[in-house]
Amino acid sequence: MLNPAPALGLRRLWTGFLDLVLPPRCLACGVTVGTVGTLCPSCWRGITFLGAPRCQCCGYPFAFDLGEGGLCGACAAHTPPYDRARAAMRYDDASRSLVLALKHGDRLHLAPALAQWMRRAGAELLADADCLVPVPLHWTRLFARRYNQSAVLAQALAKAGAPPVAAECLIRRRRTPSQGRKNAAARRRNVAGAFRVRRPTEVRGKRIVLIDDVLTTGATVEECARALKRAGAARVDVLALARTVRGEA
């Protein structure tokens, strides 16, 4: 059996050399940090990571614990078509630059670190899931942008130990206008019937985790969940990088 110690020593030497020549930078502001793929203390303090207490369905953060099975007012009044939703962090002024850097700034190197945050936030969803399904872009928008940020996050999650990605099973069959600056009702109308499962056999009976970058009103993931449930998915959960909290743009 080969001794792994020499290879490990060389790897550490090479990593140390790279850190000397190209020191690790904060993912958000770019100042020098001690470890690759991390935030500086100032940026870390600015990020609001989401966890308990929260709505047991949509994951909306609560100021205090409502007990087991506690639901927010929206979920109590209208059960979403997905089963559960979770997000890693609050979408606000502090996190917006990270999300937009991945989404529009070609900074794909952020994905592994962001995926680790998502993995921790969605551990209960991923534990027994069969596959990850990224929220798809219409092919025209994908051609213009060159990549789907939700698919990039899904692939990074899979590489970090999450279930495999079923990237092609859900498609956006019509190009919808941007959801920005629309209210909840307009967002729902905008995406109604926009998604279709291309290969139902890939999702039938499966426990699926939908991957998205930002949850705002939830209209897009709700429509995706409806399409997956119609195709026979046994469970559809949602895991997002960030989510808006009422009062945040």
Q: What is the domain range of residue 140?
A: 47-243
pLDDT score at 179: 66
Whether residue 175 lies inside any domain: the answer is: yes
85 and 3 in a common domain: no
Whether residue 135 lies inside any domain: the answer is: yes
pLDDT score at 15: 46
Q: What is the mean pLDDT of residues 169-183?
A: 75
67 and 9 in a common domain: no
Whether residue 58 lies inside any domain: the answer is: yes
Is the pLDDT at 80 greater than 80, yes or no?
A: yes
Whether residue 210 lies inside any domain: the answer is: yes
188 and 108 in a common domain: yes
* Structural domain count of the chain: 2
- Give the whole-angstrom CA distance, residue 118 versus residue 194: 26
List alpha helices for the chain, DSSP H.
Answer: 5-21, 41-46, 73-77, 93-103, 111-121, 123-126, 139-145, 149-159, 184-191, 219-230
Q: What is the CATH number of the domain that holds 227?
A: 3.40.50
pLDDT score at 215: 94
pLDDT score at 168: 86
Whether residue 248 lies inside any domain: the answer is: no
Q: What one-letter code names the amino acid at 126?
A: L
86 and 32 in a common domain: no
Whether residue 249 lies inside any domain: the answer is: no
